[in-house]
Structure 1
Amino acid sequence: MISGVINSSQSNPFLLSGFYASNSFDERFTLWDDLVKVNPGNSMPWLVVGDFNCCRFHSDKIGGNAVPTSRMATFNNFIFETNLLELPSSGLFHTWNNMRTDNPIHLRLDRMLDNEAWVSSFLNSCYKVANSSISNHTPLILKPVTDMRSSPRFMFKNFWCQIFEFWSIFIPIFEAPVQGNPIISLY
């Protein structure tokens, strides 16, 4: 792991932690502990980037054997303990594949996580999962805030409920199955 404070004349300083997690389940505990130690809390924006070498959800893997829930639980516990959030992403969903045509396996191993101070400082930031033709991992590209177009805030207007067609349009939207990050269901 490499962690350091990035100072820029164009933004507030932030802590960046980059790493490659071990393939060993037991050795990843050391990395989680090291990341907990460098966690600035919400005193400074923090971006955690790397190959976590584990999944958060069963939907993060296609092909091969299912990932045991206990393996995902330690990673999710680390995220919960450090109050990290997953930075929104676009592009490909899976970030690793075994590059085989017979029995292909696709996983979401690489991620960018951030804290609440990051969200406050870099409100519209996100990353792109790009294509890769030379590696079984895909590159993650942090999108500068200046590239983002801020969307207007959604405001519900009570008078909409009085419009006859409103409910026939509104209800099917919420009945549609949710795709993507499971937190969308909560929202």
Structure 2
Amino acid sequence: MVGGGRAEKIIEGLSFDGFITMYTIGYAGGLWILWKMEDMEVSPLSTTEQEIHASIKVRSSNLTWLISVIYTSPRLVERRILWDNLKIVAHLHNLPWLMLGDFNEVLCGEEKFGGNQVNLNRALEFKGCLDECNMIDLGFVGPKYTWTNRRPISSLVFERIDKCFANSMWRLLYPEAVVTHLPRTFLDHCPVLIELCKSIANHLNKPFRFQMVWLLHPDFPRVVQQT
């Protein structure tokens, strides 16, 4: 829940010299991507309050691919806008593609514990978008659920809504890529770590790490805006 000048000051104090941000409006609407320029070249392509799309060139391997960082609105009308935008992106490129973030939606009953039953229509819309984008769930190791409402046991809910997907071209580039759900601390979401592969991690002396802060703003545009 940070934006504007304060966000830039926080980023300056971190060990990342490259960043793309969608700033907050009040207490909502923020996405950050942070990276080290010595490791990769990142070029922003398009953004809305729910998504950032960028091309990634990993310097150690000279590979280029597309990354989409997502925060899906809990509002049905706005998430449908995002699903449509992702389908547009899918038809505009033929690159290896990694899509990850907070999708605010589960695909099946196994991804939820407690609360109301999974809304089948919403889950099918989500699945339809992923299918049209030719996305594969990269799976995970670690805790089964990535979010909790932190309520008492009688109304406690757990869900797996933070996910990583890729198309088959990206998966062929990084067949050893592993997604790990790290333990939650004081947040309602657990951090998610992606290690692309052992050879690249060893070459860089560290794994590729994705960091994101996501918030919500109600006035989402209906099309992907080119930057």
Q: The TM-score by the shorter chain falls in which range?
A: 0.7 to 0.9
Deviation by residue 1:2-53 (Cα, 9 ceiling, x = unmatched): 1100112223111110021000122111111111222268832110011110
- Give the fraction of aligned pairs with identical amino acids, expressed as a percent: 28
Name which one, 1 or 2, has greater alpha-carbon Rg.
Answer: 1
Deviating runs (4+, > 4 A) in structure 1?
Answer: none
Q: CA RMSD in A?
A: 1.7
Residue number in structure 2 paired with 1:182: none
1:79-158 alignment runs, 5 A limit: 79-102=130-153, 103-146=155-198
Deviation by residue 1:63-99 (Cα, 9 ceiling, x = unmatched): 0110121111100111111110001311111110011
Pairing 1:4–2:54 present? yes
Letter aligned with residue 115 of structure 1: N
1:3-22 alignment runs, 5 A limit: 3-11=53-61, 12-22=63-73
**Cα distance in structure 2, aligned partners of 1:9 and 1:147:** 14
- Cα contact 1:41–1:82 (8 A) shared by 2: no
Larger RCO, structures 1/2 (Cα 8 Å, 6+ apart): 2
**Cα distance in structure 2, aligned partners of 1:8 and 1:35:** 23
- Cα contact 1:21–1:52 (8 A) shared by 2: yes
The gaps in structure 2 that reach 5 residues or longer are: 1-50, 201-227
Change (3 A) 1:41 1:95: farther
- Cα contact 1:5–1:14 (8 A) shared by 2: yes
- 1:101: how far off? 2.6
- Cα contact 1:36–1:82 (8 A) shared by 2: yes
**Cα distance in structure 2, aligned partners of 1:51 and 1:147:** 28
Change (3 A) 1:126 1:97: same
Segment drifting more, 31-40 vs 4-13? 31-40
Residue 55 (structure 1) aligned to one of 106, 116, 125: 106
- Cα contact 1:95–1:108 (8 A) shared by 2: yes
**Cα distance in structure 2, aligned partners of 1:9 and 1:121:** 14
**Cα distance in structure 1, aligned partners of 2:78 and 2:197:** 35
The gaps in structure 1 that reach 5 residues or longer are: 149-187
Deviation by residue 1:99-157 (Cα, 9 ceiling, x = unmatched): 12332100011100000101111111121011111210111100130169xxxxxxxxx
